[in-house]
Amino acid sequence: MQASKKIPFEDPMVLNGVRALYVVSNLIIAGIYLYIQQQINRKRDMTVIKYVEPAPMGSAEEPKAVTTTVHAYDLQQLRALFKSQLMGVGMMGVMHLYFKYTNPLLIQSIIPLKGAFEGNLVKVHLFGQPAVGELKRPWKAAAGLMSGLSGGDIKIDKKSIETAERSGRGGAKEE
């Protein structure tokens, strides 16, 4: 952040260079995600996973039992990553084009790219790390601004799954 304050954004060449860096960064991320989607569809892992999704915070609903496949789970996670990236591009577009902020362009060229390479899907499908330990599905939600609002962690123990299935909310298989 401090280094970005020293960059002369008033110079049109510098500003266009940073804009190009931002666009290239987002194209790299989109390319990574599209490659991961190809890998997920190529592997088509139909191993069944069961977990209990916590109820939304502040609601009186019961936790929801989810039965899905690794393939469907990975595609769901990838969709969430795409959506998150598009939200970031939209917010950056408003901040830069409407409010004329330039400093966040440089920062948002670096941080999302770093985050993309640290994601679980990238570790498993791009870097080929085995899905064991922390990479075992379902993954814990990444600590972030909105993580406190989710209502808790995903549970994978047998007792929690059976309790949620018996409660009547969930248990339906997601395809």
Distance CA 41, CA 125 (A): 11
User: Is the overall model pTM greater than 0.75, yes or no?
Assistant: yes
pLDDT of residue 159: 63
Q: Give yes or no for a contact between 2 and 106, defined as CB atoms under 8 angstroms apart.
A: no
Whether the bond into 130 is cis, omega within 30 of 0: no
Q: Cα separation of 112 and 90, whole Å? A: 14
Mean pLDDT check: name the lowest of 40-44, 56-60, 114-118.
Answer: 56-60
What number is the average pLDDT over the span 26-37?
Answer: 97
